[in-house]
């Protein structure tokens, strides 16, 4: 059975205003701090909770669970899960919503160091609970995607592969990522990038992550994403793409 039940209806792509479905879906994944997480209890009933969300460099969603939590016990018995993402600052019935279904895969303890850094960057208070002995991270291995574009907008087909960034050609960039991030956070570059990304909230913006497709920015309560026109794979490519973004912003 498919991870998301097909509608059984043919959608006419010309019936509504088109959207860049892949870009919308990828931005929702990259710019949501909070998600609903649905698991299955032993009786087969859906159990939904609200939890924090982080994203790995390649776009894989990751959630934290306490081993004692109901949803963690549910996942241990049945790893099928679903998460839903939306811009909760708006009327969500009039804006895009994204549902991802798949399996939750516990991250081995020796692979959690980078995840903890990413988590604390987004949620500084998490230092209080990430050190608990039953603190667990789970990757969501997405098997099906459903994008609702909102009224009058087509939600074109988006596949799980469309959400991911290929990191293999960008080894040099990712190796230098910590130094590049530190440099970007020295001065006003992060604020200028947030403005270029169309961030709606003022505050102390920081670059929180980079990858071949773009730059993630954050404040204590908000996230923004700026996308490169083309994927970059080396620090020199990154510098060129960054200069282009800033020139475009300063000229506008």
Residue that is last in its domain, among 129, 163, 197: 163
**Same domain, residue pair 27 and 122:** yes
Model pLDDT, residue 183: 94
Predicted local distance difference test score (pLDDT) of residue 13:
60
**CATH code at 67?**
2.30.110.10
Strand partners, 81: 102
- Say how many residues make up the chain: 252
Q: pLDDT tier at 130 (50, 70, 90 boundaries)?
A: very high
Q: What is the pLDDT of residues 148-194, one digit of tens each?
A: 887 767 666 799 999 999 999 999 999 999 999 999 999 889 999 99
**Comparison of pLDDT for 60 and 124, the residue scoring more:** 60
Pair 152, 229 in one domain = no
Does residue 16 surpass a pLDDT of 70?
Answer: no
Average pLDDT (12-24) is 78
Reference 80, options 29, 44, 52, 34; nearest CA is: 44
| Residues 222 and 189 occupy one common structural domain | yes
Read off the pLDDT of each residue in 5-15 and give the average, rounded to a whole number: 65
Within this chain, do residues 146 and 199 fall inside the same structural domain, yes or no?
A: no
pLDDT for 1 beyond 90? no
Do residues 111 and 176 both lie within one domain? no
Contacts 24+ apart (CB under 8 A), 231-238: 231/165, 231/166, 231/169, 231/170, 232/170, 232/173, 233/169, 233/170, 233/172, 233/173, 234/170, 234/172, 234/173, 235/172, 235/173, 235/176, 235/180, 237/173, 238/173, 238/180, 238/210
pLDDT-based confidence at 236, cuts 50/70/90? Answer: very high
Whether 33 and 123 map to the same domain: the answer is: yes
Q: Do 76 and 114 belong together in one domain?
A: yes
- Burial track 125-136 (b if 16+ CB lie within 10 A, e otherwise): ebeeebeeeebb
Residues 159 and 200 in one domain: no
pLDDT at 3 over 90: no
Residues 31 and 155 in one domain: yes
Range among 57-66, 191-200, 213-222 with highest mean pLDDT value? 57-66
CATH code at position 200:
3.20.180.10
Per-chain mean pLDDT for the chain: 91
The residue out of 163, 186, 209 marking a domain boundary is 163
Structure tokens at 15: 């019936």
Rounded-to-10 torsion of CA 27, 142, 92, 199: -20
Residue 19's pLDDT is 85
**173, 57 in Cβ contact below 8 A?**
no
| Matching residue, tokens 């991802």 | 100
- Total domains, the chain: 2
**Which tokens go with 207?**
């670059």
Residues 148, 195: one domain?
A: no
Scanning the structure block, which residue is given the tokens 């099906």?
Answer: 144
Domain end residue (candidates: 163, 190, 216)? 163
Q: Are 142 and 148 a contacting pair, CB within 8 Å?
A: no
User: What is the per-residue pLDDT for 2?
Assistant: 76
Same domain membership, residue 154 and residue 52: yes
- What are the pLDDT digits (tens) for 49-94? 999 999 999 999 999 999 999 999 999 999 999 999 998 888 888 8
Domain extent at residue 175: 168-251
Calculate mean pLDDT across residues 111-118. 94
> 34 with 146, same domain?
yes
Q: What is the pLDDT of residue 93?
A: 85
């Amino acid at each position: 059975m498919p991870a998301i039940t097909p509608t059984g209806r043919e959608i006419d792509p010309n019936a509504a205003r088109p959207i860049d479905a892949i870009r919308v879906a990828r931005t929702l994944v990259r710019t949501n701090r909070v998600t609903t997480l649905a698991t299955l209890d032993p009786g087969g009933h859906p159990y939904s909770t609200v939890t924090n969300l982080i994203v790995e460099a390649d776009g894989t969603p990751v959630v934290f669970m306490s081993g004692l939590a109901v949803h963690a016990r549910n996942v241990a018995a049945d790893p099928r899960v679903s998460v839903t993402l939306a811009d909760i600052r708006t009327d969500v019935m009039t804006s895009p919503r994204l549902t991802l279904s798949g399996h939750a895969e516990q991250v081995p303890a020796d692979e959690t160091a980078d995840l903890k850094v990413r988590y604390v960057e987004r949620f500084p208070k998490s230092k209080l609970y990430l050190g608990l002995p039953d603190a667990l991270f789970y990757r969501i291995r997405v098997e099906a995607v459903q994008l609702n574009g909102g009224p009058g907008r087509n939600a074109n087909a988006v596949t799980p592969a469309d959400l991911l960034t290929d990191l293999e050609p960008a080894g040099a960039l990712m190796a230098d990522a910590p130094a590049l991030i530190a440099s970007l956070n020295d001065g006003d570059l992060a604020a200028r990038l947030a403005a270029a990304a169309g961030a709606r909230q003022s505050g102390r913006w920081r670059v929180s992550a980079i990858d071949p497709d773009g730059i993630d920015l954050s404040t204590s309560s908000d996230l923004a994403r700026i996308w490169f026109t083309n994927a970059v794979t080396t620090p020199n490519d990154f510098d060129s793409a960054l200069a282009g973004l800033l020139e475009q912003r300063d000229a506008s």
